[in-house]
Structure 1
Amino acid sequence: MASVATEERVRDVTGAGPAPSTRATPELRSAVAGLQAAFDAAGLPLDLSGVAPVREERDRVVAQIDDYLLPRLAGLDGPALIVVGGPTGAGKSTLVNSLAGRAVTTPGLLRPTTRSPVLVHHPADREWFGPERVLPTLDRVDRPTTDHESLQLVASPTVPRGVAVLDAPDFDSIDDRNRELATTLLAAADLLLFVTSAARYSDQVPWLQLSLALERQTAVTVVMNRVPAEDMATVSPHLTRMLRDSGVAADAVFFVEEGAIGDGDRLPAESVSHLRAWLDAFGADAAARRSAVRQTLGGAVRRAVRVAAPVADAAALQVEAVSELLTVADKVYAGTAESLRGALHDSTLVRGDLMVRWMDLVGNHDLERPDDTLATVRKQLAGHDPGLGTRLQQLGQALDLALETLLVDHAERASADASRRLRATTHGRALLDWSTEDLSRPGRGLGSRARKTIRGWRHRFADRVAEVLGDDAAGPGREGRDALALALVIHAVSTPPGAGGQEQEGAGALVAEARDGVAKTLTAVLAEDRDRYLQPVLAWNLAPDAPGRLRAAARAAARTLDRHERREV
């Protein structure tokens, strides 16, 4: 059993007081979940000036909410997770084995790149470390693995109930994935046991990680490991001063003299007896554990609230940029759609191959009245020409190609114009560079989509012609129906509106319907091509109210945390 003095030191290290109430946990968890949703909605997809560090902070906060805050708020009374971190060569794994009383993790310079992190817990606490609990994004395994996405669970009765010890990768590892994982594990710690050595304690990279933990108000205990006995008088006060200047109390610092590593990759029991007593006392003292959790939890929420402000500001710039993008794109494509409709009315579409095949069918291009056009086509159909079906099919293909070419030509002009105008705006270049495709050209496959859409509309219009004129108007079969529909469409795009009298009924009304249908079909395909500029909105759900939602969620979380902490005093 831990001594009274050791128990008092545990309280000094963690600032423990009376066990806090958990009454406000559901309310606080709901507020943090709302903050998480607001962060998710405030995506920062565009590489605008100055956004990179804000995006990095946002991603860290979102990860800590997922990996620590929400799981911890779901079980405040669960075991405290002690994450053992520090620089390469500090002896973290050997220290973990020494505290556990047996070999549970493998020391060595190669270990961080060959094994997953190891979480050692008392067998009775196993339920607290399932995949729905802390670090839910990591798979649970029961043996060493090379998978960085896994967490090895080791049950050991030598670890006191109420705590778990996690051996993390090195913060200064040469492996990028190890450094990222170490940062993730640090964010999930209830208490950071920062292990350094006499040779490494002033190194900048691990010290930055310690500073990050302190900035988050994570409960911290520091171990100076592998201190030569002759250097203790020099190193001890120096490290203590450095830590005190950073906000770590002297009572939260332990020193372990350098010693021989025995069987089981651990130090002699007497070398770590004071640390072992601290761990036992911490596990036995529910108030101390809860105080550490309360400190770390509150610090994590407050950090999320602080980060929300710059993220909301950056998201507002993203919304402004997307709005600028859509305004330019809408203006350009609206003008192009108007130009496209005009081109369908100026009779220049019927030329080239389409003109040749049309003349082959009607014999006279100067048919002004749609009734004359239909009469000419009916005459051709009545002639029982065996090659008429092929000629009609070729005419339809020529019409589809002419309409497709007209559309693609306008789409090319629109995309080039929109790209040019966007690059002249404040954020346009970032928007264009973000897109997964070249927005200065029409979308891939536009021509084939246009052809398919036009053909589908012509078939529907043929059914409409049969409905208005009667199934027998052109003779039996689909061929006659398609022929009349083709003739009416070509008449519609080769004559301006109102030509040849009023288009109010019969064939004239069908010509007006065809003219309107062609225009709507082509402009709809053009609008789909414009919708590529909506990618940032659709991909990240970057709603205009996202910045305001994030600010409101941060205020709500801050108020709820304040009420929660007042109730615990």
Structure 2
Amino acid sequence: MTQGSAAARAADSVELLHDLHRDVSALTFPLEIPGVDGEREAKERVLTQVASHLLPRIAEQGTPAVVVLGGPTGAGKSTLLNSLVGREVSPAGVLRPTTRRAVAAHHPTVHSVPLRDLADSVASAAIPPGVVLVDAPDLDSLERANRSAATRLLAAADLWILVTTAARYGDMIPWSQVIRARDRGLQLAVVLNRVPGAARKQVRADLTERLDQIGLGNSPLFLIPDVGPHEGLLAEEQVADLREWLRAATGRHQARGIVRRTAAGACGALSESVGGLVAGVGAQRAAAARLRTETLEGLRGPQADLAYAIETGQCAAGAPTTRWETFAPAGMLFAPFSIPGSRASTTARAITDRTIALMRLATDVEGAIVTLLADAIHDAAGSIHREWRAASALHLLEDPEPVSAAGARERAERAVEEWQHEVDRILDSEKVTALASLTDPTGVSALVVAAVGGVGGASVAVSHFLSREVTSAARDALLGAARHAVGATAEPYLKALRSVPDASVEERLAAHARQLEDLT
């Protein structure tokens, strides 16, 4: 490969990694579904690998190798770093955890220190120029933030020195991390601390066999003898072999080799990690689709029951029908509507009294409609809320509280009021002269409301004096308004689901994963 083509490839790689970092940074996993914690942690590992590991190495050829001292609680990582530096730069002691913020030790000539966002840097001439030596928090820390920081540091490492003890080298957590590191090409060395003299040979053989079983049998292994309780630095002879190996392994040319090999392996592992994020997005989208279906299903029953009640005239049951029958006989206010050809008084007083009676009738009908609609809204809201609570998704809502009975009634009253205006607009296009001598426009509107509610006499009157189409149009308007009012209870939930990544996010991440394979 020529120098020019290598530079072009590096530029393309940098652009790809920047695009990947942008898309992964914006990625969210909002739904609490099985495996989501792992997806969120994988996202942070990918971001760390890209920003703190791959981009600096591809964009800056002189970046020092990052060597992380990582391992379980109390293994002596901080003491080991302090001993390699020659002074205390990272707190060590019996309190746990001792390392809360990582410490990165580097040679004074290193000015571009990696991991500044993850670790405090300390300059020391005892550290070889080609390396940054990092004391990481415990892999098995009781504090989640510490475990996360340790994992992120390993994701940014070129070389991992696993620091453990003769009593703890079999712990599961470090070994699961070792296998993950192996899979992404991270090179490994092991420091076995506090090894009793009598068990030295046996422990070395057992640990070497374990490493060999996972394909890491050639990893350098350093044993530090158990010297009993002590404070301060380890004796120089206890760390001399590790210091010399570290100096030889991270010389100028060797460090670049470590960086290149780890970066190549990291690209392959990163492709798999991004593929895992793609699967995570797919799982989120599938869960969101199920929740959307359940949300809409929560509307179906209440909407259907309400529509049936309106279409079958249930809003006229009770008071509305009683009021109509009271005023319908001959000589009464509603007689002209109920008895064809009956004579009716057309005086101003009679028209006013008839209009007032019709308005009271409409008020009864509207009250019944409001009650039915409020119950439907409350039922739908409760059903949807229960589904979201069961799915642990209420945190996505701006207001996680369900609609109260009072709130449902307020919504119903607004919907019915808007429908009344729609009835008036329908009547604006009708000729109502036949009713002008019996009631005023307010009474005509009230008569139509009663007809839509299911008052039989009112329906006959509207058909006779106006047309059946008026009642039909007004009923359709009510059905639409009621359906919309009930459906509105789902809107905050459906809006919340928009926080779930869409198919375009999944497609972009999948494309990045394929492009990363070409870098390996």
Q: What is the TM-score when the length of structure 2 is the normalising length?
A: 0.71
| Equivalent in the alignment of 1:187 | 155
Task: Please say if residues 298 and 384 of structure 2, whose CA atoms lie closer than 8 Å, have aligned partners that are also in contact.
Answer: yes
Spell out, residue by residue over 1:523-552, the C-alpha distance to the aligned partner (whole angstroms, 9 max, x if none). 0122233557748843423x4677666544
What does residue range 124-273 of structure 1 map to in structure 2 within 5 Å?
125=110, 128-129=113-114, 135=118, 151-156=119-124, 158-175=126-143, 177-228=145-196, 232-248=200-216, 250=218, 252-258=220-226, 265-273=232-240
After superposition, give the CA deviation of every residue in 1:449-484 in whole Å (9 maximum; x if it has no partner): 4533642662585498489759xx9xxxxxx99887
Which protein shows a greater Rg? Answer: 2
Q: Deviations over 1:152-184 (max 9, x none)?
A: 444545444453332222233455554444334
Q: Once the 2 structures are TM-superposed, how far is the Cα of residue 114 of structure 1 from its aligned partner? A: 7.4
Q: Does 1:492 align with 2:452?
A: yes
Letter in 2 for 1:555: R
Of 344, 353, 372, 1:406 maps to 372
CA–CA distance in 1 between the matches of 2:156 and 2:196? 33
Q: Which amino acid aligns with 1:347?
A: G
**What is the CA-CA distance between 1:29 and the residue it aligns to?**
0.6
Residues 417, 196 of structure 1: alpha-carbon distance in 2 compared, 3 angstrom cutoff: closer
> What 5-or-longer segments of structure 2 have no aligned partner?
1-5, 340-344, 396-400, 433-439
Which stretch of the first structure deviates more once superposed, 94-103 or 225-234?
225-234
The amino acid that maps onto 1:26 is V
Q: 1:29 aligns with which of 17, 20, 37?
A: 17
Displacement of 1:326 after TM fit?
Answer: 5.0
Please tell me whether the aligned partners of residues 325 and 431 of structure 1 are also in contact (alpha carbons under 8 angstroms).
Answer: no
Structure 2 contact 419–478 (Cα < 8 Å) conserved: no
2:160 match: secondary structure = strand
Change (3 A) 1:451 1:400: farther
1:278 Cα deviation from its structure 2 partner: 3.9
Structure 2 residue aligned with 1:10: none
Aligned identity (percent) is: 27
Pair 1:267–1:368, CA change in 2 (3 A): farther
- The aligned counterpart of 1:146 is none
Q: Counterpart of 1:107 in 2: which secondary structure? A: coil
Residues paired across the two proteins, number = 488
What is the match of residue 107 of structure 1? 92
**Match 2:50 to one of 69, 72, 83:** 69
Q: In structure 2, do the counterparts of structure 1 residues 35 and 414 end up closer, same or farther at CA, with 3 Å as the change threshold? A: closer
Q: TM-score, normalised by structure 1?
A: 0.66
Q: In structure 2, the residue corresponding to 1:344 is in which secondary structure?
A: helix
Correspondent of 2:404 among 445, 461, 473: 445
User: Counterpart of 1:9?
Assistant: none
Please show how residues 49-68 of structure 1 align to structure 2 within 5 Å.
51-52=34-35, 55=36, 57-68=38-49
Query: Hey, what does 1:94 align to over in structure 2?
Result: 79
Mapped to 2, the partners of 1:558 and 1:35 lie a distance apart of 18
Q: What SS is found at the alignment partner of 1:74?
A: helix
2:298 and 2:380 in contact (8 A); partners too:
yes
Moved more, 323-332 or 215-224: 323-332
> In the alignment, does 2:478 pair up with 1:518?
yes
Q: What is the rounded CA distance, in whole Å, between the counterparts of 2:311 and 2:336 in structure 1? A: 16
Greater RCO (Cα-Cα under 8 Å, separation 6 or more): 1
Spell out the pairing of 1:153-552 with structure 2 (5 A cutoff).
153-156=121-124, 158-175=126-143, 177-228=145-196, 232-248=200-216, 250=218, 252-258=220-226, 265-281=232-248, 284-285=251-252, 287-306=253-272, 323=289, 326=292, 330=296, 333-334=299-300, 337-352=303-318, 364=334, 367=337, 401-410=367-376, 432-436=390-394, 443-445=402-404, 448-449=407-408, 451-452=410-411, 454-455=413-414, 458=417, 461-462=420-421, 465=424, 488-494=448-454, 500=461, 514-530=474-490, 534=494, 537-541=497-501, 543=502, 551-552=510-511
Of 338-347 and 407-416, the range deviating more from structure 2: 407-416
Specify every segment of 5 or more residues in structure 1 that has no aligned partner in the other structure, as ranges.
Answer: 1-17, 136-150, 370-374, 421-428, 474-479, 563-569
Aligned residue for 2:207, secondary structure, equals helix
Q: Which amino acid aligns with 1:275?
A: L
- Contact (CA 8 Å) 2:99, 2:136: kept in 1 or not? no
Q: Alignment RMSD, CA only?
A: 5.2
Whole-angstrom distance in 1 between the partners of 2:157 and 2:465: 77
* Counterpart residue type for residue 291 of structure 1: G
Task: Tell me which amino acid in the other structure corresponds to 1:74.
Answer: L
Output the CA distance in 2 between the equivalents of 1:360 and 1:70: 82
1:504/1:446 CA distance change after superposition, 3 Å: farther
Distance 2:248 2:350 in 1: 102
* CA 366–520 in structure 1, closer or farther in 2 if over 3 Å, else same: farther
Residues 63 and 315 (structure 1), Cα distance of their counterparts in 2 relative to 1, 3 Å cut: closer
Shift of 1:266: 1.4
Between the aligned partners of 1:288 and 1:556, the Cα distance in structure 2 is 28
Deviations 1:244-296 (A, max 9, x none): 33333546333334458988x212334323333444455551x4334333433
CA distance in 1, matches of 2:174, 2:238: 24
